[in-house]
Amino acid sequence: MIRNIYRISLFFIALNLVTGCEDYLNIPPVAEISEEQVFGTYASFQGFQDKLIRNLVDYNRHGARVTHSIGGEALSPSGQSVYNGNIGNYFYLLSNRGIYAIAELEAFKAGLYSHMWENCRIANLCLEKLESGILVEATENQRKWLEGQALFFRAYYHYEFVRSFGTIPYVDTVFSAEDQDMKRHWSYEKNGTTYNDVQAVFERIVEDLEAAAALLPDVWPSPNINWGRPTSLTALGFKAKALQFSASPLFNEQANGVLEYNTALLDRCAVPCQDAIDLAISLRGTEPAGMPGVNADGLTEMADFRTAFATFDGTQPGTPEVLFHRPVDIYGANNVRQSEARNYSVRQLTGQKAAQGSQMYLDKFEMKDGSRYKFEYDTDPVRRWDDRDSRFDFTFYVHGDVIDAITLDLSTAQLTADGAMNSNAIRKFMVDGVTKDNVGEATYSTPLLRLADIYLTYAEAVFESTGSYTAVPAGLKLSAEDAVNVVRRRAGQPDVADVLTFYEGNPQPASCELASDPAFRLLYRNERAVELAYEGVYWFDIRRWKRAHLKDGVQITAMNFDLIGETQEIDNATVRRVDKQGFVFKDPHYWMPFENSLTRFTADWEQNPGW
Amino acid sequence: MRHWQKLCYLFAIFIFTFSAGHAQAPVEGKVIDENGDPVPFATVLIEGTTKGTSTNSDGLFRINAEEGQTLTVQFIGYTTEQVKITDPAQLIVVTLEMTTTELEDVVVVGYGVQKKESVVGSIGTASADDIKTQGNVNNLTDALTGIIPGVTVLSISGMPGGDMESGTKIYSPSEILIRGKTTWNNASPLILVDGVERPMNDIDISEVASVSVLKDASATAVFGMKGGNGVILITTKRGREGKARFNIEAETSFETPSKMIEVASVPESALARNYGLERTRRFSNAAWDELYISDEEVGYYRDGTYPYAYQNIDWQDMLLKKFTVSNRVNVSASGGTDRVKYFASSSYNHVGDIMNSEDLGQGYLPSYSYDRFNVRSNFDFKITKTTTLQANFSGMYGVRNTPPSGTREGLFAGISSTSGDMPILVYEDGIYGADDGRFQASNPYYKLNYMGTVTYPRTMVNMDYTLTQELDFITKGLSASGKLAYDNTFRNEGRSVIESGYIRKTIDKEFYLSGGYYDYATSTYMLNGAPANMDEWTFYDVPTGGREGFGWVRTPNRYGDEEVSLGNAERSLYYELALRYDRSFANHNITGLAMFNRFQSERGSNWPRKREDWVGRITYDYDQRYFLEMNGTYNGSEKFGPEYRFDFFPSIAGGWMLSNEQFVADNLDWLDMFKIRYSYGLVGNDNVSTGSQWPHLTIWDTYSFGYSGDTYYGYPSTYDEYPMYNEGNPGNPNLRWEKARKQNLGFDIGILKNKVTFSADFFDEYRWDMLIGASQRQNTVPPIFGKPAPPANIGEAKSRGAELEATYRNSIRNKLNFWISGNWTVARSEVIYKESTELTLPHQKPEGKPIGQTFTGLSTGFIESWDDLYCATGASDAASNGMLLPGDMIMLDFNSDGLYNGSDDNVPYGYPTYPQNNYGISAGANFEGFDLMFRFLGAYNATRRVNPPLFWSDNIYAPVVILGDTWSPQYNNTDPTYPGVALNAKSYTPTGQWAQYDGSFLRLQSIQLGYTLPSRLTDKLQMSSVKIYVNGRNLFLWTNMPNDGVGMADPGKNYPTKKQVNFGLSMQF
């Protein structure tokens, strides 16, 4: 009896131990794209890495009605992002539409914030895979390019993030889901110097960019096909920008508690500026076939300048002066009536209610003779708009401008009817003639870095470090003044020496400028605002200088006027400045708030103060 | 003794007297069962000969036999008896006893059957009759409601033929919970129909022979990782040896909506909105100007002076029928010989629409309805003496009918958020009222009846074969079997009629107020004694798609044909190989099972999902006193990596039948049965939303993106040089089973000749390595990770509870049989650990709370005055604070940060959404062919969210329940629980715990009265049994909830739940 039970039990147990069929549950080989397939060849590896280009954010395209022009340089109908930014409602920018938006529709090309960590993951994954030797089919150069791009993008995305949010950990590993413990505040020691917090992050960024600059090509093979990829010049340019931010008072204060420029960093900033300028000049003529060339300074001629921002024939916007931008693939009607129209425009032109330049920003544009704009010119029909820096006309449409079949009416009555806030429309990103009815293959792109910015960055670094705008520091080739002149000359404005007197003790009212500022500082800062208008620079600048709070409580103004009778002629007597929106900028606004989805996870990731 | 029996005896005596003296006279006899009922079709054989006969429908037989011969009487399901003929003249009465191996005393367990006596696991069963008493239910899930202790059916929607796995805004599928919820993942049990994983909803209830619900580890361990949430085994009917039996069932039921949210009348709602406008005027003067309704106008609503301007319609009344009719017919035949047995059944089921869909001459009947045709044939072939083959074929063709997709929601809005004043239903000239954009109201009646109709056919063809070979030649009691099942399901979009719609209009109220009217005689609108220029007064809503030009011409109906969507075709393949052993050695009874099976299912062209099991079971009992059972499964799931893919799930269980011990039998003769059972074992669960079919792997895939192209570099235009690879959801190579350790201690007691039976089960469950799906981890893994976090095993939970059931059954003089039964179950779960972030506030951590705990903000009272307002807790932002008014709730600032903010201050409140306690009381009796039974079903310790809108889009829709609870001086509510009425302009109105209702209820789940015709009548009709019955389902409901629903939040615009009265006829011949 017992033996029987024993025998039978044994039989069943033995049967259960047969495990030869476990393979049944293996996943079918065809269902799996293997890592070797993805990372095995240069082309596929590059294809994987290209998501980093796809995740780039164009400041003026991303999300409908979104810009990062929230430093008071623009006015928008209430409820839109610019409006909310102006009143300091930065959480709105996070949760709705803005470059840092969290829940952004894919169709609008995703936010910097929501993709920040994915981007870091991709870049780090690429570096990990390059190390692992899985890449077999690639030349030595191709390996360098892949590594260079990974390092560049890792640095770039950190740069984008940290200049708005302040210090964050430098994400240089591929996290596991179980372990992402990183402290927000940290220090980094290098060459005997200890860098704290945000400067530590910038130091890591600079390191990666230096390495990237050495690895990336000066010119990509088949420049046409690869236009848009970062080059050694791009890496150098952002290295200069990273040092500029790191050296700026706001960032120096967060790192060291000292609210002034860090001159050591400024000195370090000037070097990659000079290198970038030299490299850019040496690379003249290597641009993709069909692209307009540049002048002796590496800048685009004024005649071709629009192509840096916008095109009409389906051509990618850009010139060699544009060191980095997000390549576009949206052309025509959708581009004009949806993207452009929700940017800065008026309904008559593009069909949607959108933002306009604020009047105080228009005031930054000098007169033709280099003198500063005065309020009394408002009623002067010539001086008001016509007798201005050529970039005024380049940047704005004003009343009476005829675009294709549309004659702009920016009178108060029409503005009210259209729900517009100010009497201008932004022209910078529209080729002449483009309207909602004449869309052609129009498109636009906002430069993420332009050589002109490098010249101005150079001027700031040298001037703020040495206190002199004429001095040429040892090892460098330009003075601060020289660098600014390069930019001004392209626009046809008189040289610095001729106009500095206009700036002497003459800050603009209700601006971030102080009477105690040296004239050259007022000038180069004004030059930045004018040259880089609406390219997503101004808000960063006034924060970087820690001057933004000076405008707290200031009313952002618009220019209103009536027409004479039934004509389209402006009744000059009625031209007036109207307060449109109070500008709010308290201490917390120097840093963007982190969304709760990040801060609620750990006490180590503290929210920025005041949020 | 019944009259006919007396007659029989008389008849027998009569025969006897005549046959006295004839030695070769036929012998007469009667075969009865234990209860004295005749056994028809029993075989009577003369021992040692081939001579035989069978009994007639009264159990009588006659056979030529001689004194001294022995008769063998046998019938399937009964003992075989032998009688020696001692006196051929005397009527031989043979009593057969039911054998214990028949259905009644056999329990279907995982991969087999067991004698009820030797079951040591915790298994609940329901018989075909139990299911029948539920009325005319076309959905087997709903038919299980309340008939098995420990099984809870959560249900909220009565959509005919709804089978969508995931809910929509108008429909939520019913859910089954076994012993509550011990997982935050999908808690649905595994469902097997005839041993194969299959959906059960579309099985006709007449085909079901029994339902077994396996609850503890001992019973479910053979399913290993699939058994963690319990298992439901559906067994369909099979043929029995004997003459062909036909069974016809016909049921017609009348259905009405169950409890629905009651809507205040139009004038009452209009006044309420006026109060709301007064209260919120400070926020929107424009709303006041636009919406305030003068008393005079309220009067128009009340007295119907201008019915086409001031309409007072009860949309619920308008859109819901008084009742709808559903039908079910089933015809089945069964029987067989010892070679072939068969059961064949076909049914037709029609579920009617309680929406007021009508044929208004459009050429089609728009409705929500479901028509289903089921066929099934189950065969048992005896191929050789030792080989049997079971072959089951079943098929289903069901057609769900609904209005087209675009109109459904608007239609349901009519009963859940549109007020009765608009749109105007239909104008005097027959033109329907136009939708109202301002109030987001569409004309629901028009939407229901004039937009067309769409059908969704689904077809299911299932088959399975089981070949069993006895292997007695190897060792006695051994058998081997193989099973193969192949199922196919097709879901298509069927024939449709799409209407482009008709012109609709809105006539300005002013027209009627200015004295305008419609002259029916001339069919013209008149104003001031002359035909009115109606263009001035009318807004026409012209459907798009019509032709403009010389007047608008309606687009003809579009007739769509069936579209085969191969992407929705499902196939599954199951095969198993098993060795079984069943043998007794003296007092030792041993059974064994060893099995290997694989299951693979795929939908469309997706990769098939696969599972693989190795199963073993050994049971042993000694002398029907000591029982031991061991189960084990070696299970595999493709969700896990090779290292964790397979796992072993064992269980052990023991039982002791005390009442079979001599010392008990000797001393406690009133104790008929006393059994103690205990089981302990491990089961698992891999039922988690993982974001990928193979979550253990990082899947590399390609992506596409963008408006016009997928490329992001190049000049002058973009190039497409490189493949776009992307990292899919990162995998977790360590992903493994969610494991559950279950214990069950049970007692079964029968006393007083088993008149009183009592059983109690106490259970305890501990789960660990609980899975947290990829989507849930987005809340717990910081975004810095850079991708949706992979699913992982991060959680622990426990659950414990009890099931008690007591039944008393007796009969008075064998005429009145009655029983009464009560059951009560409790199952409480508690999260021990669940991944949450470091900064999750202590009161919001899931630990220590049941799974599915309700959270809500709490109000501590009302802002009664402006003084109160300045002291009340504010909202988190200035804009919201600016919206506070007297009459708003004072919200509890639980974390004391000075402001009320839902994400911080929501606290656990009440109970989980599903009931923790369920109870049932049922009773029945039969007397002289009549039978009566009823079943009450109750639940408590549940919290259910019901949040009807108030003034939806500023319209005047107002549920009575809100007006009854609102804080408003006008309503004199002494104990308000809802803030003062307000319009949309007041965008901040916290309602605290108001929407969280006590989810307790008690309902008359079913009641049935039946009458079985006496056999003297049925005999005349050549039938063996005829029964007529009437039953009711869900006829009474006692609850505080404003509508009928169990355990689920309203999907919003919901197809209402129903109650039913059902008339049925069942005939056997």
Q: What phi, psi does B772 have (nearest 5°)?
A: -120, 120
**pLDDT (tens digit, 9 = 90+) per residue, B409-446?**
778 888 888 899 988 999 999 899 998 888 888 899 99
Q: Which amino acid is at B897?
A: D
User: What is the complex's ipTM, to 2 decimals?
Assistant: 0.83
Q: Which of B616, B702, B713 sits opposite A327 (nearest CB)?
A: B713
A232-252 pLDDT, tens digit per residue, is: 999 999 999 999 999 999 999
Burial of B303 (0-12, 13-18, 19+ CB in 10 A): exposed
**What pLDDT score does A110 carry?**
52
Examine the pLDDT at B10 and tell me if it is beyond 50. no
Q: Give me the residue from B579, B708, B715 closest to A316, CB to CB.
A: B715
pLDDT confidence of residue A89:
87
Q: Out of A22, A223, A331, whose CB is closest to B646? A: A22
Label residue B6 by pLDDT band (50, 70, 90).
very low
What does the pLDDT average to over B331-352?
92
Cβ of B718 within 8 Å of Cβ of A601? The answer is: no
Q: What pLDDT digit, counting tens, does each position of B542-563 carry?
A: 776 555 545 556 677 778 888 7
Q: Which residues of B fall within a CB distance of 8 Å from A598?
A: 782-784
pLDDT of A148-202, one tens digit each? 999 999 999 999 999 999 999 999 999 887 777 778 889 999 989 999 999 999 9
Report the range of poorest mean pLDDT among A469-478, A561-570, B23-32, B53-62: B23-32
Greater confidence (B431 vs B902) lies with B431
- Please tell me the least confidently modeled range out of A20-29, A305-314, B419-428, B1007-1016: A20-29
pLDDT of residue B168: 76
| Percentage of residues in chain B having pLDDT higher than 90 | 43
Cβ <8 Å between B694 and A27:
yes
pLDDT single digits (tens) A336-349: 888 888 888 899 99
Q: Output A27 or B1030, whichever has higher pLDDT.
A: B1030
Task: Work out the average pLDDT over B385-400.
Answer: 93
Which residues of A are less than 8 Å from B694 in CB distance? 27, 31
Closest residue on chain B to A107 (Cα): B706
Per-position DSSP letters for A565-580, written without gaps between them: TTSS-B-GGG-EEEEE
B193-224 pLDDT, tens per residue? Answer: 999 999 888 899 999 999 999 999 888 888 88
DSSP state, A183?
Answer: -
> If contacts are CB pairs under 8 Å, which of residues 831-860 in chain B contact chain A?
837-840
**Lowest pLDDT segment from A15-24, A121-130, A484-493:** A15-24
Search chain B and give the residue with CA nearest A125: B727
Report the alpha-carbon distance of residue B934 to residue B923 in Å, rounded: 6
Give residues with Cβ within 8 angstroms of B871, minimum separation 6: none
Mutate to test the interface with A, among B222, B639, B700 (most CBs of A within 10 A): B700
CB atoms B703 and A51 under 8 Å: yes
Q: Comparing C-alpha atoms, which of A463, A455, A71 is closest to residue A261?
A: A463
CB contact under 8 A, B726 and A605: no
Please name the residues between 438 and 467 in chain A that touch chain B, using a CB distance below 8 Å.
none
3-state SS, residue B725: strand
Cis status, amide bond into A518, omega within 30 of 0: no
Cis previous bond, B40, omega within 30? no
Supply the mean pLDDT for chain B.
86
**Closest CA–CA distance from residue B670 to any residue of chain A (Å):** 35
* Residue B18 scores a pLDDT above 50: no
Q: Give chain A positions within 8 Å (CB) of B582.
A: none
Q: Nearest residue on chain A to B579, judged by CA atoms?
A: A12
Q: Which of A464-478, B626-640, B872-886 has the lowest mean pLDDT?
A: B872-886
Confidence of residue B1 (pLDDT cuts 50, 70, 90): very low
What's residue A111's pLDDT?
Answer: 67
Q: Output the pLDDT for position A20.
A: 46
CA contacts within 13 A on the Cβ side of B617: 31
Residue B687 to residues B183, B188, B406, B639: CA-CA distances in angstroms? 10, 9, 33, 10
Phi-psi region of B1040 (alpha: psi -120 to 50; beta: other; left: phi over 0): alpha
What's residue B670's pLDDT? 87
CA distance A22 to chain B (A): 8
**pLDDT, position B704:** 66
B652 in reach of chain A (CB within 8 A): no
**pLDDT tens digit string along B631-681?**
999 988 888 888 888 889 999 999 999 998 888 888 888 888 999 999 999
B610·A47 Cβ contact <8 A: no
Among B150, B126, B100, CA closest to B800: B150
Q: What is the mean pLDDT of residues A318-329?
A: 90
Task: Inform me whether the C-beta atom of residue A291 falls under 8 Å from chain B C-beta atoms.
Answer: yes
User: Which residues 6+ apart lie within 8 Å of A496 measured at CB?
Assistant: A469, A481, A484, A485, A488, A520, A523
What's the rounded mean pLDDT across residues A14-20? 48
Question: Of A369, A358, A442, A353, whose CA–CA distance to A396 is shortest?
Answer: A358
Chain A residue nearest residue B720, CA to CA: A225
Per-residue pLDDT tens digits for B45-88: 887 777 778 788 778 888 888 888 888 887 766 777 888 888 87
DSSP B547: B
Q: What is the pLDDT of residues A492-525, one digit of tens each?
A: 999 999 999 999 999 999 999 999 999 999 999 9
Q: Is the pLDDT of residue A4 over 60?
A: no
Amino acid (one-letter) located at B462: N
Determine contact: B577 vs chain A, CB below 8 A: no
**pLDDT of B866 over the 70 cut:** yes
The Cα of B851 is separated from the nearest Cα of chain A by a number of Å equal to 22
- B253, β-bridge pairs: B326, B1062
Q: Which residue of B635, B698, B707 to mutate against A (max A Cβ within 10 Å)?
A: B707
In A, which residues are within 8 Å of B699 by CB distance?
32-33
Rounded-to-integer distance, Cα A457 and Cα A480, Å: 9
Please, which pLDDT band fits residue B491 given cuts at 50, 70 and 90?
confident
CB–CB contact A43 B721 (8 Å): yes
B594 interface with A at CB cutoff 8 Å: yes
Confidence of residue B880 (pLDDT cuts 50, 70, 90): confident
pTM for the whole thing? 0.81
pLDDT band at B933 (very low <50, low <70, confident <90, very high): very high
pLDDT greater than 70 at residue A106? no
Average pLDDT on B977-988 reads 89
Would the pLDDT of B4 be above 90?
Answer: no
Say if the Cβ atoms of A605 and B782 lie within 8 Å.
yes
Q: Do A24 and B585 touch (CB under 8 A)?
A: no
What pLDDT score was predicted for residue A181?
Answer: 72
Question: Which pLDDT does position B398 carry in this prediction?
Answer: 92
Tell whether A84 is within 8 A of chain B (Cβ): no
**pLDDT > 70 fraction of chain B, expressed in percent and rounded:** 94
To test the contact with chain A by mutation, choose from B225, B715, B719 the residue with the greatest count of A C-beta atoms within 10 A, namely B715
Residues linked to residue B559 through DSSP beta bridges, in sequence order: B497
Average pLDDT score over residue span B983-1005 = 91
The continuous run of DSSP H or E covering B829 comes out as strand B816-834
Contact B837 A43 (CB under 8 A): no
User: Testing the interface with B: which of A2, A8, A319 to mutate, by most B Cβ within 10 A?
Assistant: A8
Among A119-128, A481-490, B688-697, which stretch is predicted with the lowest mean pLDDT?
Answer: B688-697
| Residues on chain A touching B642 (C-beta within 8 angstroms) | 22, 26
Lookup: tokens for B577: 């190989």
